[in-house]
Amino acid sequence: MRQVNVGVLGFGTVGTGVVRILLENNHLLKARVGAELNLKYVADIDTETDRGIRLAPGVLVNDAFKVVTDPDIDIVVEMIGGEGIAKELILKAIEGGKQVVTANKALIAGHGNTIARAAAENGVDFGYEASVGGCMPIIKSVRESLVGNRIHSMVGILNGTCNYILTRIAESGSTFAEALAEAQAEGFAEADPTLDVEGFDTAHKLAILNALAYGMEINLHDIYVEGISGIDPVDIAYAGEFGYKVKLLAIGKDNGDSVEARVHPTMIPFADPLSSVSGSLNAVSISADAVDRMMLYGRGAGMMPTGSAVVSDIVDITRNLLTGSVGRIPVLSYQPEAIHKIPILPVDAIHTHYYFRFAAVDQPGVLSKISGILGDNGISIRSVHQKGRRSEGAVPIVMLTHRAREAAVKRALKEIADLDIVSDLPVLIRIEDENGGE
């Protein structure tokens, strides 16, 4: 039986999960793969901390370059993270003809085009299933299971921290700050949660998925990103009255000559399966021409779920090595010569439904003035509720619109904000609702 030597770079949370699966499920993997997955090295600058795993003598080293330059290593597994040394190590491993696996979404979103070209030029496989959606096989699904489909859209909850916070606000009426503190106490949020709550982590994942689905170069910088830190519990409560949940969504849509790519808080109807995805769970809904609609759902982070996705890549690559079929599946789903630049539609050009909340003075004619400005900008109102006066004396006016152009919406809201009858900045939340009418 052939032995495939694996070197893991990084012995942190996910690296520990990968090592644990490789060791504890070694016999299972051997029976399923037909090869011995031999953990030859684990490299980390910290060789003293007890991870609760007993490694054979000589396996744990503090020199990652020793691993990537060892001629006996077949697969390098990068679990260091970041875009500095991780990129250098991955490219060095690829140039040395080694297969590479990573969970590093930031690196792929920022440098994936370069890495994909290097992998193709050197005839190696590059696996990154764990970079999007944790244990959900979303990358495998797009690259393999849906290979015969034209993908129309992908809508996903791709950050467990944000989903946990929004779930807690909806269930308990907590403020954002209170829900964030709870998420941190439960281990679902980092001490500095900016990358998660401001939507950047989700944008990294959307950039990767768009490339796989639409044959475009990875383009992170043109994705519109808006986080959840400004979400008010009152808007989540009003959303519920209209039959909607608020989720931070990654939205990718094929418009033919352009792609929509945006990350922002979004209202979705209770009937949408994504609305029931709660807590720290992730999910992606895909619409395509042959399968119609499908959804993947599961743990988007964590030691063992993410480790499971990494090991799935190790196994896929091992099978390719055994059969001499390395490079069978293109790194970015499309053949390199078929990948091209596709522009991302500016957010001002999108058409969707909207939720507005205005804080207006309690006097006759207020609603007609607001409605008039909206109408002058081509924005049609689908529903309007005037709520009871809040403690500061303003009367909340809540509206849902038919489909409208973002640029017109922003122009109208600016005009409304300048009225002396409005006491605060208007609130806008976009709505994804196929049954919301035109």
* Tokens, residue 49: 């901390």
- DSSP one-letter string for 39-57: EEEEE-S--SS--S--PPT
Rounded distance between C-alpha atoms, residue 263 and residue 369, angstroms: 32
- Cα–Cα distance between 230 and 187 in angstroms, integer? 22
| 249 annotated to a ligand binding site | no
What are the backbone dihedrals phi and psi of residue 346, each rounded to the nearest 5 degrees, phi first?
A: -60, 145
User: Residues for the chain: how many in total?
Assistant: 438
Ligand-binding annotation for 58, yes or no, is no
| Tokens describing residue 31 | 């029976």
| Structure tokens, 3 | 């032995």
The token pair at 40 is 């030859």
Catalytic residue list: 205
Q: Which helix (H) or strand (E) holds 282?
A: strand 281-288
Is residue 15 a known part of a binding site? yes
12 is in an annotated binding site: yes
User: CB of 334 within 8 A of CB of 367?
Assistant: no
Query: Would you say 9 is a known binding-site residue?
Result: yes
**Annotated binding-site residue? 37:** no
Residue 190 in marked binding region: yes
C-alpha distances (whole Å) from 375 to each of 380, 402, 438 are: 6, 12, 15
User: Is 300 annotated as belonging to a binding site?
Assistant: no
Where is the binding site, in residues? 9-16, 105, 190
Where is the binding site for L-homoserine, in residues? 190
Where is the binding site for NADP(+), in residues? 9-16
Where is the binding site for NADPH, in residues? 105
